[in-house]
Structure 1
């Protein structure tokens, strides 16, 4: 049975929208990696960490939010895998990072370097990286101040991620083409969006990847 590693942040972990920063944070039962795995009939490895970025240590959540070391850990502790989805870039748009779309995509490029390296490809017997541009963050609710300016930046980030994937001949999917972030907090996906994304990725992966 093929194996898919899903590497991302809270929208891969399945955190539901929050109306109050102090309330317990729930996890969706029907999160998109679960839906996708059921429909594909593949083994799924969930590697979602709330707060994870492409390349920024977080001054409030900790240096481990920089996902670069986590990528090596995930690739070396699981497998062999047939494909990996990488859906990051939302937290990189937090106000305190002051990152341009070019800064964010420079971080994403490192992930493709690692995944396409001879060492990692040999370790897993070959696998396909799938770069996913996340649904666009919106300044709304209790997280509005933390993501001030993300509204104006999000489309440019998605466009730059697609250009990177095209330049590296890597499979690309734009989550914003099928879902939006929830209106409660503008960052996280509700359960209906998780299901919709899982269904859309199922059709997309079947059309793009045929593991042996």
Structure 2
């Protein structure tokens, strides 16, 4: 069996826009991906490590534990052996209390890649391949989260290009989620159910050959 770790935020946790509820596993994109890969003949387990509000490398001034860099190396150690880590973070870097831009968020991704590659795993365990996924662009935030993400649609401009560049520099695989889905029509930030289904299928197509190349 091959193991894929999805390290992400509420877009992958499966929050239902304007609620605090969660989509079931087979409807949120990591679950859709696992099911699709197994249907296609892989023997894959997807491990979800998706925390609402997680940034790439910054703290949330109001909620502890949202810095994606903190404890990442230990998570890699815990879940090893891993064939692939899927990093899909960045949306929360553009919350209203931050003034980050796309380049800064891409440098956050670079720090996460380094933490994964230098994690203190057992010497017989493989260093996992890394797929960087750029989340879809924030649209005009709506509903209860609008104040939290005010201005995010401006600050996130160029994120996919910045992630693509840093992925090439670090020899990571890359996928632009915005090429197949858009952020929620309901709140402008998260993913609606239909977008989870589309994204899970699309990423399964990207991941399948990567797992084949891993050789395990």
How much has 1:38 moved relative to structure 2? 1.1
How much has 1:174 moved relative to structure 2? 0.6
Unaligned 5+ runs, structure 2: 39-43
Q: 1:118 to 1:45 in 2, by over 3 A?
A: closer
Map of 1:4 onto structure 2: 4
Map of 1:136 onto structure 2: 137
Q: 1:118 to 1:50 in 2, by over 3 A?
A: closer
> 1:15-34 residue pairs with structure 2 within 5 A?
15-18=15-18, 25-29=20-24, 30-34=27-31
How much has 1:96 moved relative to structure 2? 0.7
Counterpart Cα distance in 1 of 2:16 and 2:152: 19
How much has 1:32 moved relative to structure 2? 0.6
How much has 1:123 moved relative to structure 2? 6.0
Counterpart Cα distance in 1 of 2:136 and 2:125: 29
Equivalent residues of 2:131, 2:174 under 8 A apart: yes
Counterpart Cα distance in 1 of 2:121 and 2:130: 11
How many residues were matched structurally?
Answer: 206
Counterpart Cα distance in 2 of 1:179 and 1:33: 15
Counterpart Cα distance in 2 of 1:92 and 1:134: 12
* TM-score with structure 2 setting the length: 0.89
* TM-score with structure 1 setting the length: 0.90
Counterpart Cα distance in 2 of 1:40 and 1:33: 11
Map of 2:34 onto structure 1: 37
Equivalent residues of 1:10, 1:49 under 8 A apart: yes
Counterpart Cα distance in 2 of 1:124 and 1:40: 23
Equivalent residues of 2:74, 2:120 under 8 A apart: no
- SS of 1:137's partner is coil
> 1:29-178 residue pairs with structure 2 within 5 A?
29=24, 30-41=27-38, 42-62=44-64, 64-117=65-118, 119-120=120-121, 122=123, 124-142=125-143, 143-178=145-180
Counterpart Cα distance in 2 of 1:38 and 1:13: 16
How much has 1:116 moved relative to structure 2? 2.5
- SS of 1:155's partner is coil
Counterpart Cα distance in 2 of 1:194 and 1:154: 21
Unaligned 5+ runs, structure 1: none
Q: CA RMSD in A?
A: 1.7
Equivalent residues of 1:132, 1:173 under 8 A apart: yes
The equivalent position to 1:187 in structure 2, one of 159, 165, 189, is 189
Equivalent residues of 1:115, 1:121 under 8 A apart: no
Q: 1:17 to 1:167 in 2, by over 3 A?
A: same
How much has 1:120 moved relative to structure 2? 4.7
